């Protein structure tokens, strides 16, 4: 009898504890639905490097955004290269990914999976410097890009060992010679295996909208840059004042330079885009950034159709007639001639677009500007 009473008491206690825990869990769940209590983000500014401190010294890609957009609220971000900074009023988040596709892919993925932020309606602006083709534009110019071509994936032979009839030692997976035709299908479009992606396409209609908003801007310039521009006597576009353009982009981990590599870059972009765009800028991160955005889009963490790429020409991708490729590269390595001007112009053009998005958020939260159905190859 005594044993039965004890058992009943224990059962009643356990039932009470279960009900209490259930009620508490229900209350906690009700107070924290999917995106409630998360930090709302309208815009993510993606930069790749900073020089020294984030404020008050020589400017890198992040500093102007942090200072002028008042990104003052710090979020520690030890799982990546650099802490995050936020403006609560404009709901703008700024990040520094680190240089190269590996860093950019890791940083974007880390942010996309960070439970503190609601990025589901955020626009993304990749804003950084680049090498620029003197065939197309001058240093200080800024370029909105849609086609983002990978300059790493493939096979490569030392140029001293290539067949006599090859133009380059670099050729692509699923081919046996450089720029073989017909070209292979782009990964994900009927290829038998899946593991590499040669081209990403940033929403062309959004890119065109951003270009239309900024194409007539009067950009910053410096008199000293004309000394560099005027060396390019065979390239009329290199001897122009800075302007806003549209054009193709290459991302590659190797900082390449020179007339022959510049020719390769033009052929590569034309090859993978079927001539839809021209090579204009070269940097190191976009394919990593967009690979992560692609995966995050699949699980509804982000909307990849809201991503923009804006690069500013800090240096030319090839040498002028009076210098060798090696001489010019070493000269540029001492400091990019167009660094500060390109950073100012990236900020100027990018801010026009961000201001429009934020000021008209009631529209752009649900309606992407000039949005059309995107078809990639």
Domain ranges of the chain: 39-153+197-364
Give me the pLDDT at residue 35, please. 67
> What digits encode the pLDDT tens for the residues 38-56?
999 999 999 999 999 999 9
Q: What is the CATH number of domain 39-153+197-364?
A: 3.40.50.1580
Give me the pLDDT at residue 374, please. 36
pTM of the full structure: 0.87
Give me the pLDDT at residue 3, please. 44
Give me the pLDDT at residue 334, please. 85
CA pair distance 54, 84, nearest whole angstrom: 11
> What digits encode the pLDDT tens for the residues 157-186?
999 999 999 999 999 988 999 999 999 888
Q: Which ranges of the chain have pLDDT less than 50?
A: 1-33, 190-195, 373-377
Phi and psi angles of residue 280, each rounded to the nearest 5 degrees, phi first: -130, -45
Give me the pLDDT at residue 197, please. 82
Give me the pLDDT at residue 333, please. 83
- 285, 274 Cβ separation under 8 angstroms: no
How far from 228 is each of 138, 157, 331, CA to CA, in Å? 10, 33, 11
Q: With CA atoms as reference, report the closest residue to 298 among 210, 188, 196.
A: 188
Give me the pLDDT at residue 174, please. 87
Q: Tell me the average pLDDT of the chain.
A: 89
């Amino acid at each position: 009898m005594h044993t039965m009473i004890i058992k009943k008491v224990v059962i009643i206690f356990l039932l009470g504890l279960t009900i209490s825990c259930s009620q508490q869990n229900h209350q906690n769940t009700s107070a924290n639905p999917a995106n409630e209590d998360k930090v709302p983000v309208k815009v993510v500014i993606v930069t790749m490097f900073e020089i020294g401190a984030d404020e008050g010294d020589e400017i890198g890609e992040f500093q102007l955004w942090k200072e002028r957009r008042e990104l003052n609220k710090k979020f520690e971000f030890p799982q990546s290269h650099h802490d995050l900074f936020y403006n609560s009023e404009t709901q703008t988040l700024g990040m520094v990914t680190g240089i190269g596709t590996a860093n950019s892919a890791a940083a974007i993925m880390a942010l996309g999976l960070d439970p503190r932020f609601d990025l589901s309606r955020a626009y993304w602006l990749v804003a950084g410097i680049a090498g620029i083709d003197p065939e197309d534009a001058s240093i200080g110019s800024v370029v909105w890009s849609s086609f983002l071509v990978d300059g790493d994936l493939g096979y490569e032979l030392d140029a001293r060992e290539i067949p006599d009839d090859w133009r380059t030692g670099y050729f692509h997976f699923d081919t046996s010679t450089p720029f073989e035709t017909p070209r292979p299908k782009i990964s994900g479009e009927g290829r038998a295996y899946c593991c590499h992606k040669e081209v990403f396409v940033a929403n062309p209609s959004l890119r065109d909208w951003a270009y239309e908003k900024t194409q007539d801007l009067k950009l910053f310039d410096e008199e000293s840059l004309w000394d560099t521009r005027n060396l390019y006597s065979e390239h009329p576009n290199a001897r122009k004042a800075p302007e806003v353009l549209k054009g193709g982009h290459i991302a590659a981990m190797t900082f390449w330079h020179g007339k022959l590599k510049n020719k390769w870059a033009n052929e590569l972009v034309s090859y993978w885009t079927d001539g839809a765009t021209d090579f204009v800028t070269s940097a190191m991160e976009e394919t990593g950034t967009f690979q992560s955005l692609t995966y995050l889009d699949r699980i509804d963490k982000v909307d990849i159709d809201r991503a923009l790429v804006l690069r500013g020409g800090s240096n030319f991708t090839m040498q002028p007639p009076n210098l060798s490729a090696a001489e010019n590269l070493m000269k540029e390595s001492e400091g990019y001639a167009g660094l500060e001007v390109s950073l100012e112009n990236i900020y100027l053009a990018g801010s026009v677009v961000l201001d429009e998005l934020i000021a008209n958020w009631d529209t752009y939260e649900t309606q992407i500007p000039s949005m059309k159905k995107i078809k990639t190859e």
